[in-house]
Amino acid sequence: MNSNPHLRARDLIARDRVEGVSAPETAWLEAHLAECSECRDFVDTTIRALQAVRTFSVTLPPDLAARAQLRLYWHTAQQRQSLRSQWAVWTACAVSWIGGAATSPYIWRAFEWIGREARLPDPVWKMGFALWWGLPALLAAAALFMQTSALESHRRR
């Protein structure tokens, strides 16, 4: 319980307007209000504020609910599409990496043969092999980044 009677009275005034207070608390509050003009003024201010809020009206467009429902439906459809496209990208990445790992020894030999036939220095044909290996991952990462940035820019609107 609060030791300051004014704070307790303000708390009881607020609670009485929202949820109600017990009979002993009501009796205490009425006794306190009979003696304290500051708390009586607070009651009057609270009553006027509540009346002002009750008389305040906001007119909403008649199609607001339909527009909100349509927006929610559209957003859900976008999320589903985004999820499907992400799965497609991740599946393509997995297939690409599995295929790359399976064919890696053959591609290595092919790059080595091309480097030897073209008389390229070892670092050049090895860099070509590294690009062959890393390019699909870079393209997939770029696609995911572009998709994420497009979704974020659309969400900000």
Coil, helix or strand at residue 68: helix
Least confident piece of the model among 23-37, 110-124, 140-154: 140-154
Residue 117 pLDDT class (50, 70, 90 cuts) = very high
Nearest Cα residue to 94 out of 82, 86, 105: 86
For the entire predicted model, the pTM comes to: 0.37
Delimit the domains of the chain by residue range. Answer: 5-55, 64-156
Task: Inform me whether the pLDDT recorded for 3 exceeds 80.
Answer: no
CA–CA separation, 124 vs 128, rounded Å? 6
For the segment 16-26, the average pLDDT, to the nearest whole number, is 87
Question: In this model, does residue 2 exceed pLDDT 60?
Answer: no
Q: What is the DSSP letter of 3?
A: S
- The owner of tokens 């607070």 is 42
